[in-house]
Amino acid sequence: MTINDIINPDNLVYTKTKVMNDVPMHYCPGCSHGVVHKLIAEIIEEMDIQNKTIGIAPVGCAVFAYKYLDIDWQQAAHGRAPALATAVKRLLPDRLVFTYQGDGDLAAIGTAETIHAANRGENIAIIFINNGIYGMTGGQMAPTTLVGMKSSTSPNGRTIPLNGNPLDITKLLAQLEGTCYVTRQSVHNVATVRRTKKAIQKAFENSMQNKGTSVVEIVSTCNSGWKLSPADSNDWMVKNMFPAYPIGDLKDL
Amino acid sequence: MNNLKNQHNEEVRLMKGNEAIAHAAIRSGCDGYFGYPITPQSEILETLMELEPWNTTGMVVLQAESEVASINMVYGAASCGKKSMTSSSSPGVSLMQEGISYLAGAELPCVIVNVMRGGPGLGTIQPSQADYYQTVKGGGHGDYKMITLAPASVQEMADHTVLAFDLAFKYLTPTMILADGVIGQMMEKVILPPFQPRLTEVEIREKCPWATLGKPANRKPNIITSLALLSEEMEEINLRLQCRYREIEKTEVFYEEFSCDDAEYLIIAFGTTARVCQKAVEMARTEGIKAGLLRPITLFPYPSRIIRELAEKIKGILTVEMNAGQMVDDVKLAVNGRVPVEFYGRMGGIVPSPDEVLEALKSKLIK
Amino acid sequence: MAKIKGAIVVNIERCKGCNLCVVACPSKVLSLNNEANSKGYNYSYMAFPDACVGCSACAYVCPDACITVYKVKL
């Protein structure tokens, strides 16, 4: 049997979901954003809710998320995605409303909006990409940057006296009465990609069932910002990010 | 008021200006109000919470965690083609400026109420008009304009709420009701506007084909953004906005004239100050001074043409404001040196008296 | 036990040559091509196609959704 015999629609086991369009993504090679975008698109297709989904894009690397997933999108001001999502979901309670935010957007400038939306128990899903760096603006220190981690604004490594401690906002969100599901995942290998997909699906189902706020943090890589190859970034993440941001469910009601 | 068509039913009530806005919002078919308490406008949020419109019209009312959140909730709601609004007072409106710029950039309709108080800074809770520049010259970043209505009575607080939504959706622009602490707090008779039903989702999809309500199979995704990294694209958006602003300037200028026909001296004032100046004009007339009052109802678009026309037949203009002199710049631009333009203002939350205005008219113009 | 044969198709123009699929492949099928696509990326390809079992690991980890996977049971 030749390769051409195998490559036959009857034998198809995996292909790009139609919810993700053919526009090439602007992300750097190996960026975790692409995997998470793909998972979100796959879940929307599998749940058959393309016509009921409203995504809220952030400011940051994912600002252009709206170019790649064929759903209705709103692009928020920096940090304000949960405020937009709050209004959308309250006005359209039968829709899936999710925000897609990076660590700077969610855990620095948008901390108030994030915490208060979660505390009110808005029936939204928050997808939180934590790579410990501001990717879009060129690798500056983020609220989640690890102690000792170098960035363009902590060139000699983050220090607590100068910069304060890394913010584990997901742990904080898990303590709020309004959250129903808070989990931390990653997408650096097949097993973790599958687990993250299940987590995002659960968050989306919670939104559709109006069960409260779901938060899915995805500990991610930024190989350009970290100045490592994509594969080395994954290794570095496992070794350095996971001890500070341990993988697993923080809350599942 | 004679420039605005009033469509009233017979429900006559006595209430504060702030309360009138809340009632009018519900009656205008508003879908969502998002606000944060600040004096002197908290009665808007309080009245809505008291009226619980979610039980009657289905309108969403939410007390947000900040003015920043409020205006961004408005952005989210407006992006869905929903009639949405917020209200605040000067310091809170300063916090909203980023959101207002985004709303303008994304071409979203909404209503923002500013019941102005004295500044700068935390200032005072007493009335002021010191946010004129911020409102009509663009308080946020970028080249944008906001239709701005300046009510001078509780009745207009109600009427302008309805009108502001109509204009916002007609021109896809944030629209500001620029009131002040006097209009917000004082009680007057008001005829509340008739109830308009909220639009159904089918109606929104038809009227606002850009609304993000979920993408049906037969259309492309709707994307609400103010981002356009390509300079050519960004310039095109700007040109479109400017074209719309010129159209607004041509079509939507509202003002009120009082004793202008034979006037030799013209007072120009808006909002609360116009009420004071009307009294001053009456007093001047009893003294034989032929004074008149022009009250701009829209601050953007500004009634420059009528001011220019009146300037042809008068001896001088006194602009009166509760600030250090802001709108007077637009008067001077309209007059373009034809006649002297003087200014009289009080700051810090002080409302000028008719006597003061008359005295200023005499000392600055008549001499 | 039935033998499983797989094959993948890489969307060459979409591929950014990040190498994550190469690392993820348990059967060491993939490699980056010496040839570059129009954007200058050395795209992924099946260097050892016979070893492919169509497990889709490469496609799961691909950040650019540029891998389509086929599988047959022989």
Residues of A in contact with C6 (CB under 8 A): 6, 13
Instruction: Report the percentage of chain B scoring pLDDT > 70.
Output: 97
Cα–Cα nearest to B72, from A117, A248, A100? A117
Q: Where along chain B do its domains lie?
A: 12-201, 255-366
Mean pLDDT across the stretch A179-202? 98
A26 interface with B at CB cutoff 8 Å: no
Q: pLDDT (tens digit, 9 = 90+) per residue, C34-47?
A: 999 999 999 999 99
Across the interface, which of A14, A32, A188 has its CB nearest the CB of C59?
A: A14
Asked whether the predicted pLDDT for residue A30 surpasses 70, the reply is yes
Residue A43 in domain: yes
What CATH fold (topology level) applies to the domain B255-366?
Rossmann fold (3.40.50)
Mean pLDDT across the stretch A139-151? 97
Mean pLDDT across the stretch A3-26? 95
Q: Tell me the ipTM for this assembly.
A: 0.97
CA distance, residue A96 to nearest chain B CA (Å)? 9
Q: Superfamily for B12-201? A: Thiamin diphosphate (ThDP)-binding fold, Pyr/PP domains (3.40.50.970)
Residues of A in contact with B70 (CB under 8 A): 83
Mean pLDDT across the stretch B310-327? 98
The pLDDT assigned to B10 comes to 56
Residues of A in contact with C9 (CB under 8 A): 7
Residue A228 in domain: yes
Residue A89 in domain: yes
Asked whether the predicted pLDDT for residue B27 surpasses 70, the reply is yes
Q: For the residues of chain A, what is the DSSP string, one character each? A: --HHHHSSGGGEEE---TTB-SSPP-SPTT-HHHHHHHHHHHHHHHTT-GGGEEEEE-SSGGGGGGGTB-SEEEE-STT-HHHHHHHHHHH-TTSEEEEEEEHHIIIIITHHHHHHHHHHT-S-EEEEEE-SEETTTTSEE-TTPPBT--BTTBTT-B-HHHH-PPP-HHHHHHTSTTEEEEEEEE-SSHHHHHHHHHHHHHHHHHHHTT--EEEEEEE---HHHHTS-HHHHHHHIIIIIHHHS--EEEEE-
Return the CATH class of domain C4-73: alpha beta
Q: pLDDT (tens digit, 9 = 90+) per residue, B120-168?
A: 999 999 999 999 999 999 899 999 999 999 999 999 999 999 999 999 9
Tell me which residue range forms the domain holding A106: 31-252
Mean pLDDT across the stretch A183-208? 98
d(CA B67, CA A229): 43
Q: Where along chain C do its domains lie?
A: 4-73
Mean model confidence pLDDT for chain B:
96
Q: pLDDT (tens digit, 9 = 90+) per residue, B52-106?
A: 999 999 999 999 999 999 999 999 999 999 999 999 999 999 999 999 999 999 9
Question: Cβ contact (<8 Å) for A112 and B69?
Answer: yes
Question: Cβ contact (<8 Å) for B72 and A77?
Answer: yes
CATH topology identical between B12-201 and B255-366: yes
A231 interface with C at CB cutoff 8 Å: yes
The letter for the amino acid at A94 is D
A-contacting residues of B 37-76, CB under 8 Å? Answer: 60, 62, 64-66, 68-70, 72-76
| Banded model confidence at residue B2, pLDDT cuts 50, 70, 90 | very low
| Banded model confidence at residue B43, pLDDT cuts 50, 70, 90 | very high
Do B and C count as touching (3 or more CB pairs closer than 8 A)?
no
Best mutation site among B48, B54, B66, B79 for testing chain A: the one with the most A CBs within 10 Å? B79
Instruction: Report the percentage of chain B scoring pLDDT > 90.
Output: 96
Across the interface, which of B70, B99, B221 has its CB nearest the CB of A72?
A: B221
Which CATH number belongs to the domain containing residue A46 in this structure? 3.40.50.970
Mean model confidence pLDDT for chain C:
96
Residue A17 in domain: no
Give the residue on A whose Cα is nearest the Cα of B99.
A77
Question: Cβ contact (<8 Å) for A66 and B221?
Answer: yes
Question: Cβ contact (<8 Å) for B212 and A87?
Answer: no
Residues of C in contact with A194 (CB under 8 A): 60
Question: Cβ contact (<8 Å) for A73 and B80?
Answer: no
Asked whether the predicted pLDDT for residue B335 surpasses 60, the reply is yes
CA distance, residue C34 to nearest chain A CA (Å)? 17
Q: How many domains is chain A built from?
A: 1
A-contacting residues of B 300-339, CB under 8 Å? Answer: none
